[in-house]
Amino acid sequence: MAHVRVYIRRPNQYGHCMKILVCVSKVPDTTAKISFTDNDTAFDTSGVQFIMNPYDEWYALVRALELTEGGKGETTIINVGPAANDAIIRKGLAIGADKAVRIDTEPSSTRVVAEEIAAYAKDKSFDLILTGKETIDYNGSEVGAMVAELLDQPFVSYASHLDATDSTATIKRDIEGGVELLEVDLPAVVSAAKGLAEQRIPNMRGIMMAKRKPLEVLPASGATENVQVVKYTLPGDKGSVKLVEADNMDELVRLLHEEAKVI
């Protein structure tokens, strides 16, 4: 029998219990072979292993736990997807989230995901909603900004450092060629980049406890759709590599200058 430690929820030094919602997405494993089916209109999932999006798991979720553990608050994870996603949600619970919600629909676009998350979060008074900076499949970076807009909240992307009091968060935001240090009023939506936290591997106790944590399944609210992938293509073969002798770097420079025209 695993021991279940019960924390009495106690307010932080600012007299407040932090409530955080972490949005998690299911993506193909980083080593997955990418191919398409249905006349190149759909991703071929056969033989593909799915994982929790690394930016959601390693950074957004773990930082949320650091801010809420030990009774300082509560972390809820949310996923918009079918029952097959429960394995990933349970992993999030095993890592340490207090509870989970799955909106039961097969989302066809980012906007649908964002509208479902916003519809759930609207009356729950979360202090913070965290997402990964992007998913590693479609690389859109859209969900956070959309959720923030639907809830009329500020949005800060690419957080590599995040601290929060009851009314404001202090964030380091990665920008091209530098870092921005900023303060934002809460509630807010923040997307997580590398550096925000360290990856956690769930332990056996966490896995056992996850089985008993609540996973609520809610019906979708039915969101609108205005974009659609009509065709996927794979990049053409590069052709074979042109090898240059290691003692003839003048030739490489000539090729880069005259043939590739890049220097």
Partner 1 sequence: MAILAFAETTNKRFKKSAFEAVTYAAKVATKLGSECVALVVGEAENAEQLGAYGAARIVQVSTAATASFDSQVYATAIAEAAKAVDATVVVLAHSSTGKSLLGRVGIKLNAGTVPGVNTVPEGSSGNLTFGKPVFSGKAFADVKVSSPSAVVSLMGNAIPPEKTDGTASVESLDVSVGEPKVRVKSVERVEGVTPLPEAELVVSAGRGVKAPDNWGIIEELANELQATTACSRPVADAGWRPHHEHVGQTGIAVRPNLYIAIGISGAIQHLAGVNNSKTIVVINKDPEAPFFKAADYGVVGDLFDVVPRLTEAIRKHNAA
Q: Where in 232-261 is the site for partner 1 (CB under 8 A)?
A: 232-235, 238, 241-247, 249-250, 252-253, 255-257, 260
Nearest-approach distance from CB 4 to partner 1, in angstroms: 34
Taking residues 135 to 154 in sequence order and writing x for each that binds partner 1 by CB under 8 A, - otherwise, the string is -xxxxxxxxxxx-xxx---x
Query: What is the spatial distance between Cα 69 and Cα 203, in angstroms, rounded to a whole number?
Result: 16
Among residues 4, 8, 201, 227, which is the contact residue for partner 1, using CB under 8 A?
Answer: 227
Number of alpha carbons in the 13 Å side-chain half-sphere of residue 104: 6
Residue 156 is a binding residue for partner 1 (CB under 8 A): yes
Query: What is the spatial distance between Cα 208 and Cα 210, in angstroms, rounded to a whole number?
Result: 5
CA triple 54-107-217, angle to 5 deg: 85
Residue 208 is a binding residue for partner 1 (CB under 8 A): no
| CB-nearer residue toward partner 1: 1 or 226 | 226
Residue 48 is a binding residue for partner 1 (CB under 8 A): no
Query: Residues 111, 135: contact at Cβ < 8 Å?
Result: no
Provide the sign of the torsion angle of the four alpha carbons 106, 111, 112, 116, taken in this order.
positive
| CB-nearer residue toward partner 1: 74 or 174 | 174
Residues 110-139 within binding reach of partner 1 (CB under 8 A): 110-111, 114, 134, 136-139
Nearest-approach distance from CB 61 to partner 1, in angstroms: 15
Instruction: Tell me the backbone φ, ψ of residue 24, rounded to 5 degrees.
Output: -120, 145
